[in-house]
Amino acid sequence: MTPVGEVRASSPVGAFRTAIEIATAVSKGNLSAREVIEEHLASIAAADGEIHAFNEVTSRAALDDADRVDRLVAAGEDPGLLAGVPVALKDNLCTRGAPTTCSSRILAGWRPPYDATVVRRVREAGGIIIGKTNMDEFAMGSSTESSAFGPTLNPLDRSRVPGGSSGGSAAAVAAGFAPLALGSDTGGSIRQPAAMCGVVGMKPTYGMVSRYGLVAFASSFDQVGPFARGVRDAAMLFEAIAGHDEADSTSLDRPAPAVTTLLGGGGNGFRVGVVSELVDAASADVARRVREAADLLASCGSSVEEVSIPMCVYSLTAYYLLAPAEASSNLARYDGVRYGLRVDAPTAEQMTTATRSEGFGDEVKRRIMLGTYALSAGYYDAYYARAQRVRTLILEAFNAAYERFDVLLAPTTPTTAFALGSKTNDPLAMYLSDVCTIPSNLAGHPAMSVPFGVGDDGMPVGVQVLAPALAEPVMFQVAAVLEDGSPPVGHGAVAAERSPAHGGTAEGTSG
Amino acid sequence: MRFKDWYGAAEGAYLRLAGATRRVVVAGLSMGGSLACRLAADHPEIAGLVLINPFIEPPAESFREILRATLAAGTEIAPAVGSDIAKPAISELSYPGSPLAAALSLFEGLDDLVADLDRISCPVMLFSSRQDHVVPVTTGDFLMERLKVPVRRTWLEHSYHVATLDYDAEIIESSAVAFAREVLDGVAGQESTPAARSGAVMESHEGLAVERSAVRERRVEAPAARITIEEVAHVARLARLSLSNSELEQFTGQLAAVLDHAADMDRVDISAVAPTSRPLPVQNVMRDDNPHSSLERDEVLSQAPRVENDRFLVPRILSEGQ
């Protein structure tokens, strides 16, 4: 793991603190938010030139926000749950006045006139936005290679992808650039890169977190969720952003569930099902880790059984018709009139066509085409309408499984992180890397990826915990048991966090 | 390496095996299928032939001219063909490149083989993947038209070219073993009418369907026609995208692959199923009818490409003469 060593050696001591440690120390006045931000900016400056986790580092605003938090603490006021904690934002979350590009040429330089609800909530909780992270263009991709601004490299092995589409957020957390990040998950875009970078990534129940200010990809799938180096940190960020928002018509009318208080340690008596079809879709080393995770849960007092959900095999197909169909409609707004790129042409229609043809990359064009075709006269019934009905059957199949099980266990990804460039010319092969994460998006259910040991190549493996709608509390409890019993992840960031007195950081400074 | 070298190696292996046993069934995948056919044409004593996505139909002269020109221009190695496998996480051991001179020699070997296909006298079992990105799917039809012997054809619904490493590997293995037993017992050669041929095809369809019996399924109907380049051009116009010819060609192939994969869904019985447009029930929500501030006009307009008098400025909507 030489690359991790390099990252760690060049990172200041504080860059691998947990979010909980930072928030606790800052609210007590034992650590200044400014110092925290300065340490993380130094880490970014040292290593992000190569990793390219960020499209934009908002240094000045972050330092101003840190000073504001420090003033609140000095004045004896409550700075909030995330006091002084740096948070990296996927570049499809609107930040007022700061560039929000979706890693697309068509939005390059756009400064939104409003903040996304999750951004506002992070700030209100005392969290500090440190930058905007790279992603697959408009979140369409599984490797962060479709970014118009170049790929992000996996901090653990720079010849590999970090996964995607929220690859920049996952890499930022793994590299110690920020203890927390937000991403969006439409078909696995939080969980898949979390697994490949050896961090925790979580997709909430559809409607649990506001989508207001998240640039839309596929509106019936998109959810915003947290990345962290540990389950408890992820739970804290989830609590900060979840809950009803009247600005999102699909927002659930309920408060955020309390999860952090449940994670004291140990969890017993869960009914756990291991989804055979998803385990079968994975390589042998990844499948072995999932079985070890199941054994761990059994040894901690849960009942564990294999469960077959044959409808799973149709998830990928249904998703790759429905999501592009929604995308083709959502991306119709990029017409060169109100924001973003315009390529001049004599008539409005020619201008729109020229703008879109120059502004969108190949993968985005491909999905718009696929979606437009699936929705077009003559094919609607064969593709879109059929996929919507298959979606119903998948949802019913999972709901039936949850009558017998509290949570389901599966791999997050079929393989560990793959080599840069290895799938860019074969869209179908790229799409297949989402096969284990898509079912939860079709069903609208929560799911999260927890690092659990490494594969044969030494790269981290993610085990996925799937739960029924609104069952985030039990999902986090199971995830915490997995985290506490995980085999070594061989990953500097996580190892550092686990060791009680930051044992790992000493080696960082000596290097 | 040239065709006669490959064939020499294959024939040597066959002769050694034939010297050690009484009857031989030859099996081959892809170019191995070409060599297996050549062996069966030259050795009428071969008892049966198992072909998996064989490469039979010789490429057009125009394509060979391109290869010759590329070769003449100094490029000797083309990008490799390998690992065309649907199953994730499986890859085929293959050479990093394809030598062009060897490919041209293979095509000449195919020219000779096609002329001799009618000499094959043993029963043939043919496996064809519905999606094959290496050998054209039409090559199986091409072969069946030219063979004078009964062919039992099985469609592989879940595999790409390298089907022996793919989802249908077990089906290929068990069917091939059963076929070999039959031909060695001397029963397989009797299904020679076209009706019996199609009977064999239907049978293997059902065999595949059984693999997924836990899901509500129905028989696969004729595969939907593949998307054409004209349709892709039409869709591009609907989506306000202008694509170059090479983009159109590339997208046509890629969209066809995704849509072929989507044909999977045809197996699911959806006749009594309601569509889902959102995963969780959503009710209409009414907010209180109170005035509140909206986005700052100047801030919004500052992000527009062209503005005039506090309005978005666009080129004219109608072209000349409209």
A116-161 tens-digit pLDDT: 999 999 999 999 999 999 999 999 999 999 999 999 999 999 999 9
- The Cα A325–Cα A316 span in angstroms is 14
Instruction: Note if A302 is an active site residue.
Output: no
Mean pLDDT value of segment A378-401? 93
Distance from CA of A205 to the nearest CA of B (A): 9
What is the per-residue pLDDT for B301?
A: 96
* Interface contact flag, A428 B319, Cβ < 8 Å: no
- pLDDT of B209 higher than 50: no
- The encoded tokens of residue A146 equal 């479709």
**Residue written as tokens 């239907």?**
B202
Confidence of residue B159 (pLDDT cuts 50, 70, 90): confident
* Chain B interface includes A372 (CB < 8 A): yes
Distance from CA of A344 to the nearest CA of B (A): 8
What is the per-residue pLDDT for A4?
A: 44
- For chain A, what is the radius of gyration of the CA atoms? 21
Q: Nearest Cβ partner of A389 from B86, B273, B296? A: B273
- pLDDT of A8 higher than 80: no
List chain A residues with CB under 8 Å of B239: 328, 356, 368-369, 372
95-124 of A, contacting B, C-beta below 8 A: 110-114
Closest C-alpha among A421, A450, A415 to residue A433:
A415
* Chain B interface includes A329 (CB < 8 A): no
Closest C-alpha among A126, A123, A144 to residue A135:
A144
What is the per-residue pLDDT for A503?
A: 33
Beta bridge partners of A209: A242
Give chain A's mean pLDDT.
92
Distance from CA of B175 to the nearest CA of A (A): 23
The per-residue pLDDT for range A457-474, each reduced to its tens digit, is: 999 999 999 999 999 999
Q: Mention every residue, 6+ apart, whose C-beta is less than 8 A from residue A63.
A: A34, A37, A38
Greater pLDDT, B6 or B321: B6
Distance from CA of A507 to the nearest CA of B (A): 36
Mean pLDDT value of segment B222-227? 62
* Interface contact flag, A353 B240, Cβ < 8 Å: yes
Closest C-alpha among A289, A370, A360 to residue A326:
A370
Which three-class secondary structure state does DSSP give residue A307? strand
What is the per-residue pLDDT for A13?
A: 61
- pLDDT of A402 higher than 60: yes
DSSP state of B134: S
* Interface contact flag, A392 B273, Cβ < 8 Å: yes
Nearest CA in chain B to A359: B241
Tell me which of B132, B159, B166, B168 is the catalytic residue: B132
One-character DSSP codes across A82-136: TTT-EEEEETTB-BTTB---TT-GGGTT---SS--HHHHHHHHTT-EEEEEE--S
- pLDDT of B11 higher than 80: yes
List chain A residues with CB under 8 Å of B259: 373, 383
Tell me which of A11, A165, A251, A486 is the catalytic residue: A165
Residue A266 neighbours by CB distance under 10 Å: 11
What is the per-residue pLDDT for A262?
A: 83
CA angle A108/A196/A454 to nearest 5° reads 165
- pLDDT of A3 higher than 80: no
Distances (CA, A) of A79 to A58, B53, B145: 21, 67, 79
- The Cα B2–Cα B135 span in angstroms is 19
Confidence of residue B157 (pLDDT cuts 50, 70, 90): confident
List chain A residues with CB under 8 Å of B161: none
Mean pLDDT value of segment A491-496? 42
One-character DSSP codes across B7-31: HHHHHHHHHHHHHHSS--EEEEETH
List chain B residues with CB under 8 Å of A436: none
One-character DSSP codes across A390-429: HHHHHHHHHHHHTTT-SEEEEESSSSSPPBTTSSTT-HHH
Number of H-type helices and E-type strands within chain A: 19, 11
Nearest CA in chain A to B288: A246
- pLDDT of B202 higher than 50: no
What is the per-residue pLDDT for B95?
A: 72
Closest C-alpha among A238, A230, A179 to residue A208:
A238
What is the per-residue pLDDT for B210?
A: 28
What is the per-residue pLDDT for A397?
A: 97
Confidence of residue B226 (pLDDT cuts 50, 70, 90): confident
Share of chain A above pLDDT 90, in %: 85
Distances (CA, A) of A178 to A48, A188, B123: 12, 21, 66
- The Cα A85–Cα A228 span in angstroms is 12
Greater pLDDT, B208 or A497: A497
Nearest CA in chain A to B89: A283
Contact of B82 with B29, CB cutoff 8 Å: no
List chain A residues with CB under 8 Å of B271: none
DSSP state of A249: T
Confidence of residue A504 (pLDDT cuts 50, 70, 90): very low
Instruction: Note if A365 is an active site residue.
Output: no
What is the per-residue pLDDT for B250?
A: 92
What is the per-residue pLDDT for B200?
A: 26
Amino acid at position A346, single letter: P
Tell me which of B161, B168, B175, B204 is the catalytic residue: B161
The per-residue pLDDT for range B28-40, each reduced to its tens digit, is: 999 899 999 999 9
Share of chain A above pLDDT 70, in %: 93
The per-residue pLDDT for range B73-131, each reduced to its tens digit, is: 888 887 777 678 887 767 777 777 778 888 888 888 999 999 899 889 888 999 998 88
479-508 of A, contacting B, C-beta below 8 A: none
* Interface contact flag, A313 B212, Cβ < 8 Å: yes
Mean pLDDT value of segment A6-33? 83
Distance from CA of A197 to the nearest CA of B (A): 18
- pLDDT of A491 higher than 90: no
Q: Checking DSSP bridges between strand A460-466 and strand A447-454, what pairing results, if any?
A: antiparallel
Q: Nearest Cβ partner of B265 from A351, A353, A386? A: A386
List chain B residues with CB under 8 Å of A395: 276, 279
Confidence of residue A267 (pLDDT cuts 50, 70, 90): low
Closest C-alpha among A251, A208, A160 to residue A448:
A208
The per-residue pLDDT for range A272-330, each reduced to its tens digit, is: 999 999 999 999 999 999 999 999 999 999 999 999 999 999 999 999 999 999 999 99
What is the per-residue pLDDT for A493?
A: 42
What is the per-residue pLDDT for A510?
A: 32
Greater pLDDT, A249 or A112: A112
List chain A residues with CB under 8 Å of B238: 372, 376
- pLDDT of B150 higher than 60: yes
Tell me which of B30, B34, B128, B204 is the catalytic residue: B30
Nearest CA in chain A to B83: A429
Instruction: Note if A90 is an active site residue.
Output: yes
Amino acid at position A80, single letter: G
* Chain B interface includes A380 (CB < 8 A): no
* Chain B interface includes A357 (CB < 8 A): yes
